[in-house]
Amino acid sequence: MDPLKALADAERKPYWLDSPAKPEPLPRLLKDTTADLAVVGGGFSGLWAALMAKERDPSLNVVLLEGRGIGWAASGRNGGFAVASLTHGLANGLERWPEEITTLERLGRANLDEIGEAVGRYGIDCAYERTGELHVATEPWQLDEMRESVQAARELGLGYDVLDRDEVRAEVNSPTYVGGYWERDGCAMIDPARLAWGLRRACLELGVRVYENTPVRHIRDSRATMDLVTPRGTVRAAKVALGTGVFQPLLRRLKHFLVPVYDYALMTEPLSEEQLASVGWRNRQGVGDSANQFHYYRLTADNRILWGGYDAVYYNGGRIKPEYEQRDETFAKLAEHFFTTFPQLDGVRFTHRWGGVIDTCSRFSAFYGHAHGGRLAYAVGYTGLGVAATRFGANVMLDLLAGEPTERTELRMVREKPIPFPPEPVRSAGIQMTRWSLARADLHEGRRNLWLRTLDRMGLGFDS
């Protein structure tokens, strides 16, 4: 089937958010109030921060302010890969923080375990499945890089199962695969919107006051309190946690470190039993391929395939606009790649197509900090891998606000900041040059040109 025909009836909205489980919005803040802790942002960062603040101290007066609806942004529209890595993958972590990678991997796995425990404890129905991730190579040159990753993982005692061509195809049947490895323990699949809505319910049950459609316009430091000004009321809070992702930062300095990058995805209709049998996929792993421009894909509870990634688009000027959430050129490419990967699924149709914005920083993994004499903390910059890591980041924010050093706050990863992006128009020119170079490297057996090698040496880059 022509890929465009398969897309013809796809709705232009995120599949996960288009669900009967979506709760009614909570009322907006209509008058002034006070709080011990005000959390800004109702994505995973803010939700975990509010929830865990109450878990740490049930008597704390916690308010969460969300500018639109809980989980409407990246948190409710992502691939749903809850990955243990806190460093956007082992290779990036090893490159940047080799001396603490063992600790970072241990903390990342504990964080993922604790997400599973919280899902169970609060009875959150988010189709949580700890299936691990299958990393597949589609070109021989990718196998060399894979061997390095597997070797490094083994030295750290992490169990990665190497699969040859036939073994990987026995897991998931695609004629494009030439090998791969299965990281069995490092990833869980979730329905992200249901996780966000479940966390909202858990917050309410513990007594967090959640206000939706309540954007914080600015924060004033009045010495006695931090005053969060919203259209209809001000919250006077002792402390503030910012989980505002890539949006206009309430702390000006953050804008130098973050760029909005759009990532796109498709969802198929549910596969029939015969269609699913033709792909295999009995172990239901999340799958990622291994070029610089990579795809990620997975099954849903009702056996649809979510298929996303490849193009990571930076729109010159770095604006965030609703119209950027749809990009037909990218959807057509994704649909074509889907049928190249699974020719046996010819005839399957897509029901949803959407995009979303991620908070990219130059080190690809979140950075953390505080301001206003330790009364405001932030964690941002997850660069497309924040489903699980945001919970770690929320814990770091609470640690920083408590003012007591912890294992987390002592990490070099937590203390250091990424290199800032240059101002526009150099920023756009540099990012587009990098995107072009990465696409070329994929066409030339992974060979990195002078531009990429220079960025590598500076510890800079662009990813999603």
The residues of the shown chain that bind ligand FAD, judged by CB under 6 A, are: 40-46, 65-68, 72-75, 77-81, 83, 215-216, 243-245, 247, 250, 263, 265, 296, 308, 356-358, 382, 384-387, 390
> Are the beta carbons of 26 and 212 closer than 8 angstroms?
yes
Q: Per the structure block, which two tokens stand in for 149?
A: 């990753």
Q: Given the complex with ligand FAD, which of 72 and 294 has the nearer CB atom?
A: 72
Q: Per the structure block, which two tokens stand in for 328?
A: 């037909």
Least distance in Å: CB of 451 to ligand FAD? 26
- Pairing, β 133-137 against β 179-183: antiparallel
Least distance in Å: CB of 96 to ligand FAD? 18
Within 8 A by CB and 6+ apart from 154, the residues are 160
Least distance in Å: CB of 309 to ligand FAD? 8
| Residue labelled with tokens 């206003």 | 372
Cα-Cα-Cα-Cα dihedral of 175, 180, 185, 189, to 10°? -30
> Are the beta carbons of 202 and 124 closer than 8 angstroms?
yes
Least distance in Å: CB of 114 to ligand FAD? 16
Q: Given the complex with ligand FAD, which of 66 and 183 has the nearer CB atom?
A: 66
Least distance in Å: CB of 138 to ligand FAD? 19
Q: Given the complex with ligand FAD, which of 79 and 179 has the nearer CB atom?
A: 79
The H or E element containing residue 137 is strand 133-137
Q: Given the complex with ligand FAD, which of 168 and 195 has the nearer CB atom?
A: 195
Q: Given the complex with ligand FAD, which of 179 and 384 has the nearer CB atom?
A: 384
CA distances from 16 to 37, 153, 159, 191 (A): 30, 33, 31, 7
Least distance in Å: CB of 357 to ligand FAD? 6
| Residue labelled with tokens 């509870």 | 301
Least distance in Å: CB of 347 to ligand FAD? 26
> Are the beta carbons of 66 and 6 closer than 8 angstroms?
no
> Are the beta carbons of 49 and 241 closer than 8 angstroms?
yes
Cα-Cα-Cα-Cα dihedral of 452, 458, 462, 464, to 10°? 120
Backbone angles phi, psi at 11, to 5 degrees: -70, 150
Q: Given the complex with ligand FAD, which of 63 and 150 has the nearer CB atom?
A: 63
Q: Given the complex with ligand FAD, which of 385 and 455 has the nearer CB atom?
A: 385
